[in-house]
């Protein structure tokens, strides 16, 4: 069984998220999503999420491409996760191109193109303009 992992916040879930999850799942048989916790988002990324970790986790678990959701609690856990979950392919959006090449020692690293016309940042900006 070929195992794939990806990481993200997945707040304000949209079709760009679905696209990347679908394409990640096409690279293997079992897709693990490491979902950023609320504490990690706030303390390390200075991001405040609209939906809580538990709400975002429930949304991801309802998507047919996702087999398992685990918490992402720090930047450093990626090597540990790859080893612990016997990952064959690590996937991220191409806006992270090159940043995770150090994982090539443990698995394949794939950067997928993002859906260009949609992003959570753009949704938040659009909503702020309307408000």
89-93 and 3-8 as β-strands: parallel, antiparallel, unpaired? parallel
**Measured between alpha carbons, how far is 16 from 1 in angstroms, rounded to an integer?**
26
Distance between CA 73 and CA 68 in Å, rounded? 16
Active-site choice (2, 45, 83, 104): 45
C-beta separation of 98 from 25 below 8 A: no
Is residue 129 flagged as an active site residue?
no
Q: Which H or E run contains 25?
A: helix 15-25
104 is catalytic: no
Residue 51: CB partners within 8 Å, gap ≥ 6?
Answer: 11, 12, 59
Given 2, 25, 47, 99, the catalytic residue? 47
Catalytic residues: 45, 47
């Amino acid at each position: 069984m070929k195992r794939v992992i990806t990481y993200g916040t997945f707040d304000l879930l949209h079709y760009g998220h679905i696209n990347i999850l679908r394409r990640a799942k096409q690279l293997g048989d079992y897709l693990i999503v490491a979902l950023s916790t609320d504490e990690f988002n706030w303390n390390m990324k200075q991001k405040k999420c609209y939906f809580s970790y538990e709400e975002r986790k429930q949304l991801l678990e309802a998507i047919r491409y996702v087999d398992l959701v685990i918490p992402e609690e720090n930047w450093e856990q990626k090597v540990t996760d790859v080893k612990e979950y016997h990952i064959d392919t690590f996937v991220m959006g191409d806006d992270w191109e090159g940043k995770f090449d150090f994982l090539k020692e443990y698995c394949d690293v794939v950067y997928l193109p993002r859906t260009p016309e949609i992003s959570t940042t753009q949704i938040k900006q659009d909503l702020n303009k309307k408000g």
